[in-house]
């Protein structure tokens, strides 16, 4: 499930290497749904993307054909063992969630027209039909592995402020347990036991969280995100180029037609261009820094 680049990343964590914090463009850990390698669709899309990249200035970065299910997935990146555990847990749960959805369609992913936006990550892309199963899957993953961890941390900071402090950037972070504090807690516990029931330890009691409340909030926010924000698409090129002039757009259309045999690929009426896939491969990608430096943390084949 892990790859060479991933092993280097985990090794660097073990060696206490310093990783730059995410910038505004960074999207943390993302869950991708990709067509399987060595399939006709994967090969065609990869070839097309390589050809389109040459049309854009400044060496547009290369990446695999995929649709993003969600970004900002909660993965512990500070400890290699915990990273592995989180990655395995999330991928396994995601595969189970996807396989549990109704099998009432031929393709989970259906590609439509090509489109372009000003945004770097949506410079050139295929629109993807909002299949009910795809949207349900994205909502489940967003709720479980993005919003719920965020809500737990926020609520914990409110009810247990003694467990948190501010880092050098002024951001609230959980205090790390030092060996000295751990020894003090153990000593306090022993002293309390020796002194009898009338004596209290020096530690502040940690309050339990209302998980029913947290889960209800997470479910609501995930549903709102699916309706108002989630826009499934398959990116073809990442670039800062803006705008795409008419001559370049005509060349793009010609290459899409030549490589994929899709005519009028930018027509508003094109909701299904005949390309798509069911199943595929789920991948967790650490999307920090330059696109070429992104790391695949793990993957699981869908059957």
Catalytic residues: 66, 233
Please state, in angstroms and rounded to a whole number, the distance separating the CA atoms of residues 113 and 120: 19
Integer Cα distance of 289 and 22 in angstroms: 7
Q: How far apart are CA 227 and CA 140, in angstroms?
A: 13
Neighbours of 294 (CB within 10 A): 19
Please provide the DSSP assignment of 204-244 as one string: PPPPPP-HHHHHHHHHHHHHHHHHHT---EEEEE-----S-
Percentage helix, strand, coil for the chain under 3-state DSSP, each rounded to 5: 45, 15, 40
In 3D space, the residue among 59, 119, 65, 63 whose CA is nearest the CA of residue 244 turns out to be 119
Distance CA 64, CA 236 (A): 9
Tokens coding 25: 């463009």
The CA distance from 3 to 17, in Å, is 19
Determine the Cα–Cα distance for residues 25 and 120; give it in Å rounded to an integer.
9
CA angle centred on 256, ends 254 and 258, rounded to 5°: 65
């Amino acid at each position: 499930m892990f790859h060479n680049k991933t092993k280097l990343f985990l090794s660097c964590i073990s060696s206490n290497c310093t990783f730059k914090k995410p910038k505004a463009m960074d999207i943390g850990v993302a869950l991708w749904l990709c067509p399987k390698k060595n399939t006709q669709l994967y090969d065609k899309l990869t070839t097309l993307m390589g050809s389109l990249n040459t049309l854009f200035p400044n060496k547009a970065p290369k990446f695999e054909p995929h649709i993003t299910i969600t970004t900002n997935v909660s993965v512990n990146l500070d400890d290699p063992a915990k990273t592995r555990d989180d990655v395995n847990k999330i991928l396994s749960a995601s595969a189970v969630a996807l396989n549990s959805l109704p099998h009432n369609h031929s393709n989970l992913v259906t590609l439509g027209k090509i489109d372009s936006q000003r945004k770097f990550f949506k410079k050139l892309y295929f629109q993807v039909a909002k299949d009910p199963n795809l949207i349900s899957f994205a909502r489940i993953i967003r709720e479980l592995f993005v919003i719920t961890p965020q809500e737990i941390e926020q609520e914990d900071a409110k009810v247990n402020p003694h467990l948190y402090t501010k880092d050098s950037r002024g951001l609230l972070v959980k205090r790390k347990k030092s060996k000295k504090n751990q020894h003090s807690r153990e000593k306090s516990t022993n002293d309390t036991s020796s002194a009898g029931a009338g004596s209290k330890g020096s530690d502040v009691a940690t309050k339990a969280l209302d998980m029913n409340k947290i889960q209800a909030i997470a479910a609501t926010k995930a549903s709102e995100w699916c309706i108002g924000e989630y826009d499934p698409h398959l990116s073809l090129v990442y670039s800062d180029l803006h705008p795409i002039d008419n001559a370049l757009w005509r060349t793009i259309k010609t290459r899409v037609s030549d490589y994929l045999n899709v005519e009028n690929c930018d027509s508003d009426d094109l909701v299904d261009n005949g390309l798509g896939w069911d199943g595929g491969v789920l991948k967790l990608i650490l999307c920090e820094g330059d696109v070429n430096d992104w790391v695949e943390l793990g993957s699981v084949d869908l059957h």
